[in-house]
Each structure stands twice: as structure tokens, then as C-alpha cells.
Amino acid sequence: MKIGFIGDVVGKPGRNMISTHLKSLRKEFDIDFVIANTENASHGFGITAKNAVELFNSGIDVMSGGNHTWDRGDIVECMNTMPILRPYNLPDLVPGRGAMVCDINGSKLGIINLMGHFTMPMCDNPFLKAKEAVNLVKEQGAEAVFIDFHAESTSEKTALFAMLKGEVSAIVGTHTHIGTDDLTVDNGTLFLCDIGLTGCRDGVIGVDKEAPIKRFLTGLNYAFDIPKHCKKIFQMVVFELQGRICTEAFKIKIYDEHEREITKARYE
């Protein structure tokens, strides 16, 4: 099976890039299933029920989240009716689920959403919870396992890969909105420290540059805004699985409407 994963979708520009490109990319690269982190999809903070439906209709199959999952209240009920994950290592009393198993053309894929500790809201140890979640989805019949690790620290993400390499199929980081260049397949496990945002590329991590600059100059809080007009980017990792093993992986970048870059993974 061939899987696509899209990183932090930021606001309407990110949603527009998905509606413009995703269905044609699914057809071109014969992608069976698409996962996307959408915790910034509604004006940069959380995702509304309306925008969730829009993104599912644009070709996304499962959504993952992170520290902004709860910024839009109406998404809570959707977690009971739509394939939307929140971090697995949040406290047990938090609504929703952090792991699921999906049947894809007769094969079972376990999908896990985790959140890091460094600079993030209160959550349980992601390393201990990762082991628990991997065992859970495997007990439910999943041979292949994908993890979206929503974390600030590159060391946390790299350490999780070192711990689970050879046990899961893919670990891709989200949250920083800045893509890294370490796309690697090692011992059959795909790793990318951060996939980077899908949305505006000429501001600061997807938002208009004025508020972040004022924050850095003064130390005061200014409200972030999503530009109505900007230069945009679409970023997706595509990987093929044979059982648990990742046999092929590459990253697609599309700038605005036409310019495209494809980067193949390094194999160790």
C-alpha cells in the first residue's frame, strides 16, 4: 500500500493547496490513503467541523492533531463521528482517541498520534505511551504502523526513531512548520524529523510576519493572522509499504500552482 502524509495544514491557504493538488497527486502517484495533521487548518488554530468536512472531501482519509486540537470547540463531537485523532499521550479523561487501525485494500495500518514534552501542554511520557500504542494497534491486527509525532524538539523526534526503528513502518514529525532534510529509511522504518507546513511560505511559520516580528521586538503578545494573499507551499511525504517494511519514500513540494520538487529518501 502507498500512503501520503501532509504536515501542518495552516489556514485557508493550506486548505486551498490541498483542494488544488491532492486529488490529482493521489491519481498520479497511485496513493491509496492520505493522513494529514490539521490542527492549524482553521485560521491557524484548531479545526472547525466545517473545515474538517472540506478537507475530507478534498482527499484526506484521516486527520491527526496536537497542541491546538481543542482550539475550536465544535470539533469535540466530530471525534466521535469522523476519523480524527488527538495525541495518544493526553490524559485519559480527554475526549477522542490517539490511535486507530484502518483497513486499506485488505491490509491493516495502525495510525498513532503522539505529542512531545518540550514546550508542549501537559501530557504523559510520549516514549512510554508510544510503546503502549504500538502494542495496541498490533493487537488489533496492524502489521504496518505510522506515527505522527507532534513535537518541538528534534532530539525527542530522533530519539523516538532510534527507539522504534525496525518495529514501526514510519515516524514523521510535525509542529515546527519548518521542513527538515533528513528523509531516511533505516531498517525498514521511514523517518523525517519535520515535514513542514502546507500553507503560506513567505511569512513566519504560516502566519503574517508582522505580529511575530513585533513579539520578538517587544516581548508583548500580538494576535497572529493568516494572510489572504501569500506565496504558498504544499508538502507531502509518500511512502510504500510491504507488510511493515517501507520499500520506497519520497517528499513532494509544490510551490504555488506549478513549480514542483521531489526528493527521494536516503536508505541506510
Residue 101: is it exposed, middle or buried by C-beta count within 10 angstroms (0-12/13-18/19+)? middle
So which residues are the catalytic ones? 68
Axis-axis angle for helices 49-57, 11-28 (nearest 10): 20
d(CA 268, CA 190): 10
Residue 38, strand partner residues: none
The three three-digit cell numbers of residue 87, written as one number: 495525541
> Distance (Å, rounded) from C-alpha 115 to C-alpha 244?
23
d(CA 244, CA 73): 36
